[in-house]
């Protein structure tokens, strides 16, 4: 049973407008934009780029390049390496192009190389990583086996639906659509629609023929 005091309906209605106005102010103040001190910690933070409030876990952001006009949704994690202060063998590790929008609650976890192109949009809760655990020794705990890394490339103009998982070694061509919930690994050409677990080509665009089913 709730112990919160019951608020009279007239008071609840009266408080709605200032509450929403306060939330809008907090969102504006909490936003990280170009020129803010927090933005200067990034390897590159383009003009007009923004990380919306509240931000998710962010560390080693000096290995992250964020292109002009790109927007990172609320509660999105941008992490490089395993822990803050770790030195990486590549720089940048995470590159996000211009005018790209990453949906709320997403995780971009880089250890070697993640390149996300221009004009990309994602739904919420997308997970992109260039490192994964292996299961080579069945007698050793999986978490203690040395992980493998492989670069990830997502071509410009693409769309990733909600809850998409992009695994190490994935390379997507330009203008690729990935259906919600797909788990993607491998190399795929431009102008295709992917879906499923594991992801496969559902249809592709052929110049002169239009959209066709996969061969």
Residue 2 pLDDT? 58
List, for residues 114-132, the tens digit of each pLDDT value: 999 999 999 999 999 999 9
Residue 53 has pLDDT above 90, yes or no: yes
Convert the pLDDT of each residue in 59-90 to its tens digit. 999 999 999 999 999 999 999 999 999 999 99
pLDDT of residue 215 exceeding 80, the answer is no
Q: Is the pLDDT of residue 212 over 70?
A: yes
Threshold 0.95, pTM exceeds: no
Looking at residue 178, its pLDDT comes to 98
Look at residue 83 in the predicted model and tell me its pLDDT.
94
Answer whether residue 111 shows pLDDT above 70. yes
**Span 137-163, mean pLDDT?**
95
Read off the pLDDT of each residue in 141-145 and give the average, rounded to a whole number.
91
All domains in the chain, ordered by first residue: 31-212 (2.160.10.10)
What would the 3-class secondary structure string for the chain be?
CCCCCCCCHHHHHHHHHHHHHHHHHHHHHHCEECCCCCHHHCCEECCCCEECCCCCCEECHHHEEECCCCEECCCCEEEECCCCCCCCCCCCCEEECCCCEECCCCEEEECCCEEECCCCEECCCCEEECEECCCCCCCCCHHHCCCEECCEEECCCCEECCCCEECCCCEECCCCEECCCCEECCEECCCEEEECCCCEEEEEEECCCEEECCC
pLDDT in tens, 164-178: 999 999 999 999 999
What percent of the chain stands above pLDDT 70? 98
Active-site annotation, residues? 133
Q: Which residue has the higher pLDDT, 201 or 22?
A: 201
């Amino acid at each position: 049973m709730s112990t919160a005091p019951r608020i009279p309906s007239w008071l609840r209605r009266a408080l709605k407008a200032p509450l929403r106005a306060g939330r809008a102010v907090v969102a504006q103040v909490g936003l990280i934009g170009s020129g803010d001190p927090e933005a200067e910690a990034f390897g590159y933070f383009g003009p007009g780029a923004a990380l919306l409030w509240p931000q998710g876990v962010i560390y080693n952001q000096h290995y992250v390049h964020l292109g002009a006009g790109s927007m990172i949704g609320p509660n999105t994690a941008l992490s490089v390496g395993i822990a803050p202060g770790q030195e990486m063998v590549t720089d940048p590790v995470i590159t996000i192009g211009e005018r790209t929008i990453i949906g709320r609650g997403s995780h971009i976890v880089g250890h070697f190389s993640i390149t996300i192109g221009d004009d990309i949009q994602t739904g919420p809760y997308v997970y992109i990583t260039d490192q994964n655990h292996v299961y080579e020794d069945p007698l050793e705990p999986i978490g203690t086996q040395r992980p493998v890394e492989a670069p990830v490339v997502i071509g410009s103009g693409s769309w990733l639906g909600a809850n998409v998982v992009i695994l190490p070694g994935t390379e997507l061509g330009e203008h690729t659509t990935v259906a919600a919930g797909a788990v993607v690994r491998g190399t795929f050409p431009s102008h295709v629609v992917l879906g499923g677990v594991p992801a496969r080509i559902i249809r592709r665009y052929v110049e002169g023929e239009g959209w066709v089913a996969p061969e």
